[in-house]
Amino acid sequence: MIVTVSGWLYIALSLLALFGLKSAHGIAEKLTMLTSIAFLLVVGVGLLMRRNWARWLSLGVTLLTWTLGSLAFLWHVIQFIRLFALFQRSGGIVVMTIVLIIAALCCAYLWLNFRLFEHLNSDEGRLEFDTPETETHAVAKSTALQIAWAALGMLLVEPGVFGLGRSSNADFAATLESFERLKSERATPSREAVTASAELARQAERRRLANETELRQAEQAELAAAREQQAAAESMRRAVEQEEARGRERLANANRARAQEEFRRKTRELFERRVRDRSYTDAQFEADRQALQRELERSWEIPAGTPPGTYSDASRSGEGPSSVILKCRDASGAISFTQGYCPAGTTLVESPPVE
């Protein structure tokens, strides 16, 4: 079972490694990656077919993987912890979760290689792959071959490991050292940084005060404009009201003039009838005249219940029926002239003079 799982795993790793060719730089690096992909694919197929040569190659690969691979895994974990401590942010929980998942997969891969090496080096593994009895020192020979192949690949890809150039690990260490130095400088700011920060703070405070002053001035200007608009609207409203009042007054005066003219006309008709018709008694005449008087008062909107002869301010000012001069006669035959109406006990004897 462990052999089948490992075979398919090697094949899957070879296929996944194909996607890493795009990030390879240089012919040496690409050639090394292609060789590794072909090796994984061939070993995986050989393990599935239970070929002894695949077992022999896997002995060195699995031994180096679970020994040196474990040490490399621990070194990378330590470096990541240092780097994570320098740049920990609000998303640290998500990053740590992803790293833990990757670490768990790596541990599972190392454990699988250890179990595969243990199985391939056992008597059961030799029997499964039909290993000849003449085979000796298979582990040492396979490991030596894998070390030589790995050294050749490192010489092509990472010559700095052998002192022939700068290695990527050195670059990573230098980068990490720079990050630590930057963090220490941020933790202990210099005098110039403190002075610059204080100056920036003062400038920010001055800008804030200037903005507040401009804001207050703008608010005052808006308030003044609103007051002017309100005053203009109030003035316009008063002008409109005055114009409407003058219009109503003109209309009322016109109505009063028409009502007064109609009252005079009907009053003259009553006088003429009184002169022509002997059967038209004084009582009927007085009743008709008072009816005309009440009709005139109603047309001028005189409140109900106002005694005859009592009129509004308009009538007292000379605009009402009080401006009409009437000739009245009492019981003794004495003649008197009154304005607007005949007193009680007197009768109207002729039409009012025309004004």
Select from 152, 120, 119 the least CA-distant residue to 135: 120
What are residue 329's phi and psi, to 5 degrees?
A: -130, 135
Give the whole-angstrom CA distance, residue 249 versus residue 233: 24
Give the whole-angstrom CA distance, residue 198 versus residue 24: 49
Report pLDDT for 159: 59
Residue type at 226 in one-letter notation: A
Give the whole-angstrom CA distance, residue 289 versus residue 32: 134
Tell whether the model's pLDDT for residue 309 goes beyond 50: no
Structure-model confidence comparison of residues 351 and 143, the more confident one: 143
Give the whole-angstrom CA distance, residue 285 versus residue 268: 12
Mean residue pLDDT of the chain comes to 75
Residue 111's CB is within 10 A of a number of other CB atoms, namely: 12
Tell whether the model's pLDDT for residue 355 goes beyond 80: no
The two tokens of residue 74 are 């621990």
Per cent of the chain over pLDDT 70 is 72
Q: Say if residues 340 and 321 touch (Cβ distance below 8 Å).
A: yes
End-to-end alpha carbon distance in the chain: 138
Select from 270, 261, 334, 253 the least CA-distant residue to 296: 261
Tell whether the model's pLDDT for residue 96 goes beyond 80: no
Taking the mean position of all CA atoms in its chain, how far away is CA 78?
44
Q: Say if residues 56 and 142 touch (Cβ distance below 8 Å).
A: yes
Tell whether the model's pLDDT for residue 310 goes beyond 70: no
Select from 123, 96, 106, 18 the least CA-distant residue to 66: 106
Report pLDDT for 314: 39
Report pLDDT for 302: 44
The two tokens of residue 272 are 């003429």
What are residue 325's phi and psi, to 5 degrees?
A: -90, 125
pLDDT, average across residues 288-296: 83
Whole-model pTM over 0.75: no
Residue 120's CB is within 10 A of a number of other CB atoms, namely: 27
Q: Collapsing DSSP states into helix, strand and coil, what is residue 90?
A: coil
Only one residue has tokens 């640290």, namely: 92
Give 196-250 pLDDT, tens digit per residue: 778 888 888 889 888 899 999 999 999 999 999 999 999 999 999 999 888 888 8
pLDDT, average across residues 311-335: 56
51-65, 89-103, 111-125, 200-214: range with lowest mean pLDDT: 89-103
